[in-house]
Amino acid sequence: GARLRAFDAGSPNEWSQALATIARRQPVLVRPSAEDARERRAFLLPSAGKWDTAYLREHMGTWGGCPVMRALDDRNKYLYYFDKQPGRDMSACSDVKREASTDVRMSFADFLDEAPRRETCAYLQAPLFEREPAFGPNQPEHVSLCPGMDKQMLADWHELDDGRLAELQGEGRLGQWSRSQLFVGPSATLSPCHYDQYDNLFMQLRGSKHILLFDPWAAEGLYPFPIHHPYDEYARLDLEHVDEAAFPRARHALAGRGAVATVGEGEVLYIPSHWWHHVCSEVTQGSSDPASMSVSLSFWFDSMSALRSPSLPLPDHFELELARHVEFLACDIAGPTAARALAEALAADVGEAPSGHDNGVPTEPRDVVLLRLLDLLGPTQTLAFVRTFLAPERFGLRQPQQAAEPREA
């Protein structure tokens, strides 16, 4: 894919261009100004520029509640796994096992101390800031900070650049800042292709990460897992080992549409919500040495509140979210096993698959879905929507694609 252009945050003209690109919901790579790079001041949170592993050990090292993902093998690959989700029937995938990593909690100091002794690697992902919206007109919002941070690290948050944050939320049209999460991991840490339901300002504090991005409509070639699967929001396609027999649309659907970014120390990548991203930290010598670990910090912004009054035509990321709601409807009507049948029926209805057989989907729910899609998207876009987001084969394979010979990313 094409390499993203980097904008200089120290140039008023380039910063203005970066904001305009963010407002168009396109990925943006931002370099620090020369002065900020020299002084190691981080974007949005200047004091985070000094957050190497030694600093983090000193100022949040003893708290035992840090979430850590442990790799199950030498692939150094990490996926979130949720076999229980509120309001979802996960029974159809109850036998799906963890494929790459498992979850534990430990202190930051123990995470670092265990690194040289572990047979497999681990990846720390700790929420440092969380904002829960008010649930009623007279209810306050709730803000919480990680209890593991000491007074010095809490003081770092008081240096938040409110002016730049206001610019991002104004000219950049980002929603409310909802969450910040710390990521610390060794060389070649791999987070396979997935999307988030938040806009993300991804800040690299130490080391560098290589990120491959695809727009939401690349779902046609990435084959997302269904919403009732423990790996919901991940691609079934393994970009490290593409199986063209199992995923025949992948190469054609993805050709020429990816974007590549290497995010170095002090740089920030804007990842729009529902954009697919495949993330690997750079390969370095001494991968088990805590001093060589990659350190990143994400600022996530609410993008879902706009669903309450979406504009038409729907933005690309809303169409991926709309597909999720079609799946929810199918599961609510007839359980998670009905999702594939509904997808097959819709494919036949729009001419993407042979018709003339009864697959057991009642006429009324498929008509409701189809008519609503036609109303929202129009005939041409409805055909593209069904082909891209609701392909029946998405609901087939249950486990993530297994690589025959794991290799270093």
Which range, of 43-57, 159-173, 243-257, 274-288, averages the lowest pLDDT? 274-288
Residue 337 within any structural domain of the chain: yes
CA pair distance 261, 86, nearest whole angstrom: 35
Structure confidence by residue, pLDDT tens digits, 244-276: 999 999 999 999 999 999 999 999 999 999 999
Largest CA distance in the chain: 68
Phi, psi of 254 (to 5 degrees): -100, -10
Provide CB contacts within 8 A for 60, sequence distance 6+.
66, 108, 146, 148, 149, 150, 153
In whole angstroms, how far apart are CA 202 and each of 27, 61, 270? 11, 23, 6
Does residue 406 have a pLDDT over 90? no
Structure confidence by residue, pLDDT tens digits, 188-221: 999 999 999 999 999 999 999 999 999 999 999 9
Tokens of 337: 């096993």
Q: What is the pLDDT of residue 137?
A: 75
pLDDT grade, residue 354 (50/70/90)? Answer: low
Task: For residues 172 and 279, state if they share a domain.
Answer: yes
Residue 311 within any structural domain of the chain: no
- Mean of the per-residue pLDDT values of the chain: 90
CA pair distance 388, 56, nearest whole angstrom: 43
Task: For residues 268 and 350, state if they share a domain.
Answer: no
Residue 183 within any structural domain of the chain: yes
Residue 403 within any structural domain of the chain: no
Query: Which of 304, 330, 360 delimits the end of a domain?
Result: 304
Task: For residues 381 and 259, state if they share a domain.
Answer: no
Task: For residues 26 and 6, state if they share a domain.
Answer: yes
Task: Assess contact for 117 and 70: CB atoms under 8 A.
Answer: no
Instruction: For residues 70-88, give the mean pLDDT.
Output: 93
> 28: domain range?
2-304
Q: What is the pLDDT of residue 408?
A: 36
Residue type for 41, please?
Answer: R
Beta pairing, strands 142-145 & 101-106 = unpaired
Does residue 101 have a pLDDT over 70? yes
CA pair distance 243, 224, nearest whole angstrom: 15
Q: How far apart are the first and last CA of the chain?
A: 17
Q: What is the pLDDT of residue 404?
A: 38
Residue 262 within any structural domain of the chain: yes
Q: Please, how many CA atoms are within 13 Å of residue 136, restricted to the half-sphere of its CB?
A: 2
The residue among 11, 88, 75, 29 whose CA lies nearest residue 261 is: 29
Query: Which of 304, 330, 359 delimits the end of a domain?
Result: 304
Q: What is the pLDDT of residue 177?
A: 95
Task: For residues 224 and 367, state if they share a domain.
Answer: no
Query: Which of 244, 274, 304 delimits the end of a domain?
Result: 304
pLDDT grade, residue 103 (50/70/90)? Answer: very high
Beta pairing, strands 259-263 & 2-3 = parallel
In whole angstroms, how far apart are CA 280 and each of 183, 188, 240, 251? 12, 6, 11, 21
Residue 222 within any structural domain of the chain: yes
Task: For residues 337 and 368, state if they share a domain.
Answer: yes
Task: For residues 30 and 99, state if they share a domain.
Answer: yes
Q: 322 by DSSP, 3-state: which?
A: helix
Task: For residues 326 and 297, state if they share a domain.
Answer: no
Instruction: For residues 293-305, give the mean pLDDT.
Output: 93
Residue 400 within any structural domain of the chain: no
Task: For residues 46 and 78, state if they share a domain.
Answer: yes
Structure confidence by residue, pLDDT tens digits, 116-142: 888 889 999 999 999 987 777 777 888
- CATH number of the domain that 266 lies in? 2.60.120.10
Q: Is-above-0.95 flag for pTM?
A: no
Structure confidence by residue, pLDDT tens digits, 300-347: 999 888 777 777 788 888 999 999 999 898 888 777 877 888 888 888
Q: What is the pLDDT of residue 405?
A: 39
Tell me the residue ranges of DSSP E strands in 186-275: 190-194, 198-206, 209-214, 259-263, 268-271
Number of domains in the chain: 2
CA pair distance 206, 77, nearest whole angstrom: 20
Does residue 98 have a pLDDT over 60? yes
Task: For residues 104 and 56, state if they share a domain.
Answer: yes
Task: Assess contact for 269 and 183: CB atoms under 8 A.
Answer: no
Does residue 286 have a pLDDT over 80? no
Instruction: For residues 228-253, give the mean pLDDT.
Output: 94
Task: For residues 230 and 357, state if they share a domain.
Answer: no
Q: What is the pLDDT of residue 352?
A: 72
Give me the percent of the chain exceeding a pLDDT of 70: 93
Residue 148 within any structural domain of the chain: yes
Task: Assess contact for 339 and 331: CB atoms under 8 A.
Answer: yes
In whole angstroms, how far apart are CA 164 and each of 35, 108, 145, 174, 336? 16, 30, 21, 12, 44
Task: Assess contact for 30 and 267: CB atoms under 8 A.
Answer: yes
Task: For residues 269 and 329, state if they share a domain.
Answer: no
In whole angstroms, how far apart are CA 331 and each of 6, 40, 95, 111? 43, 50, 18, 40
